[in-house]
Amino acid sequence: MSGNEIIKIKDLRKSFGETEVLKGINLSVSKGEVVVIIGGSGSGKSTLLRCINRLEPFTSGSIFYNQQDILQTEMVRNEIGMVFQQFNLFKHKTVLENITLAPIHVLKRIKEETVKEAMELLKKVGIEEKADVYPSKLSGGQSQRVAIARALAMKPQVMLFDEPTSALDPVLVGEVLWVIKKLAEEGMTMVVVTHEMGFAREVADRVVFFDNGIIVEEGKPQEIFNAPKSERLKQFLRRIS
Amino acid sequence: MLAALSKLSKVKILRWLANQYIDIIRGTPLLVQLFIIYYGLPQIGIIINPFASAILGLSINTGAYVAEAIRSGILAVDQGQREAAAALGFSSAQTMRLIILPQALKTMIPPVGNQFLLLIKDSSLVSTITLVELTRTAQRIISTTYKPIELYIAAAVIYYIISLLATKLLNILEKKARVSE
């Protein structure tokens, strides 16, 4: 077991009532690695992300963050950033306030510093001119970039992306993927659930294929997309192409 | 406010208490509630003057209705807001204070405002527990002048003006709450 391992998931199971959506997941993510999770809807990929930062309680198994059981430590949420399909920006706060709110109240940092950092983050995601507008005035792509900046403001060690482009107009997908790609190049550890196969091919260090609550196949993007082994993955790739 | 939060709370006993409070108050007439406080409490040794009875009665009554308005405002806030807050590490108290309540406020203003208008008008009922308020004053003057139409209409006009002012105030509040749209 390498010390590089930042997330380790062991035999994770999760049921909603009678239905088991995660049927024993084993997965680890190393520091700096970009893991892209693909698979049909309802295959459990989003649920897995939600379990990792404790938005969803799980039935059995365990998840370790830096060798610590996530159920035993409070730090997890501060250090793991999450970006949602529906952005979930705070509607009553301006773009800038959306970004500074958590650093000020959760990390208890000085407002002036957080504002300065927020402006830098907005520049990084390419929308510094929108700092003082409310989320209702933003396009989907802009909203999602603000959501990414908001998560980054907590200086997370890992970023989780839950279908970050699924709610966007096709023309706006590119601007969000561009930001995620940039983060990947900077060495951010990321777990991305997505339906964008082009993106997975280009950015992923490892692609994980989920089907029906289990990991069916994982490997380098070339292996997964050019030489799929399992029948289920072959079927899935045929269906989406 | 306390009742609304209790009703949404995970603690069963708090939820039960809030439910009982709201159901009982909403299921009984304000007039009877006032009578119980003013005429009933002295019987078990709690003597309370008319003014305090009136304040207590109206507060308890309005509180129950406002609690329901607050609760529905809180429930109307999108679940995603809570998840985003949790993912950023906010505690549940912080989430309520910084994220949920400010957004709930916007949906709460019209029904809560409505309740305050009702409160202004319901205050006329406290004349029945001997408190000298607007309606009672009108009655007193009538008893010496024998001019009920003029005086009751005058009283109605005063209620109307107060309500109108309150409505204006509420409209301003509502506009303020909508700046983020």
**What residues does each domain of chain B span?**
2-179
DSSP state of A157: S
Q: Are B68 and B96 in contact (CB under 8 A)?
A: no
Burial A151-189 (b: 16+ CB within 10 A, else e): bbbbebbbbbbbbbbeebeeebbebbbebbeebbeeebb
CA–CA dist B21, B34 (Å, integer): 16
Question: What is the distance in angstroms between the Cα of B15 and the nearest Cα belonging to chain A?
Answer: 23
Taking only the tens place, the pLDDT of each residue in A171-198 is 899 999 999 999 999 999 999 999 889 8
Tens digits of pLDDT across chain B (181 residues): 666 666 667 677 788 888 888 899 889 988 888 888 888 888 888 878 888 888 888 888 888 888 888 888 899 999 999 999 999 989 989 999 999 999 998 888 888 888 888 888 888 887 777 777 788 888 888 888 888 888 889 888 988 998 899 889 888 888 887 776 6
CB-based burial label for A15 (10 Å; 0-12, 13-18, 19+): middle
CA–CA dist A199, A174 (Å, integer): 10
| Residue from the list A77, A86, A91 with its beta carbon closest to the beta carbon of B87 | A77
CA–CA dist B102, A191 (Å, integer): 32
| Phi, then psi, of A22 in degrees rounded to 5 | -120, 120
Question: What is the distance in angstroms between the Cα of B180 and the nearest Cα belonging to chain A?
Answer: 6
CA–CA dist A36, A174 (Å, integer): 17
Whether the pLDDT of residue A162 is over 60: the answer is yes
Q: Three-state DSSP class for A28?
A: strand
CA–CA dist B135, B123 (Å, integer): 9
- Distance set, CA B39 to CA A128, B49, B71 (Å): 66, 10, 32
| Residue from the list B81, B90, B98 with its beta carbon closest to the beta carbon of A88 | B81
Residues of chain B contacting residue A91, judged by C-beta atoms under 8 Å apart: 81, 103, 180
pLDDT for A3 equals: 58
* Interval A66-89 mean pLDDT: 87
- Distance set, CA B152 to CA A29, A216, B176 (Å): 78, 81, 36
pLDDT for A151 equals: 95
Smallest CA-to-CA distance from A163 within A134, A130, A199, A187 is with A199
pLDDT for B141 equals: 87
* Type of residue numbered A188: M
CA–CA dist A163, A151 (Å, integer): 15
> Among all residues of chain A, which has the CA nearest to that of B87?
A77
CA–CA dist B55, B81 (Å, integer): 37
Q: What rounded mean pLDDT belongs to chain A?
A: 91
Taking only the tens place, the pLDDT of each residue in A100-131 is 999 999 999 999 999 999 999 999 999 989 99
Q: What is the dihedral of CA B159, B163, B166, B168, to 10 degrees?
A: -130
Residue labelled with tokens 């603000």 = A146
In this prediction, residue A1 has a pLDDT band, given cuts at 50, 70 and 90, of very low
* Type of residue numbered B176: K
CA quadruple A195, A196, A198, A203: dihedral positive or negative? negative
C-beta atoms of A92 and B103 within 8 A: yes
Residues 101-140 of B with CB under 8 A from A: 102-103, 106
| Residue from the list B90, B103, B181 with its beta carbon closest to the beta carbon of A102 | B90
Taking only the tens place, the pLDDT of each residue in A10-67 is 999 999 888 889 999 999 999 999 999 998 887 889 999 999 988 989 999 999 998 8
Q: Which residues pair with A125 in a beta bridge?
A: none
Q: Is B83 on the interface with A (CB under 8 A)?
A: yes
DSSP state of A5: E
CA–CA dist B31, B14 (Å, integer): 27
| Residue from the list A81, A82, A90 with its beta carbon closest to the beta carbon of B99 | A90
Look up the CATH architecture of domain B2-179.
Orthogonal Bundle (1.10)
Question: What is the distance in angstroms between the Cα of A134 and the nearest Cα belonging to chain B?
Answer: 6
CA–CA dist B138, B158 (Å, integer): 11
Q: Three-state DSSP class for A56?
A: coil
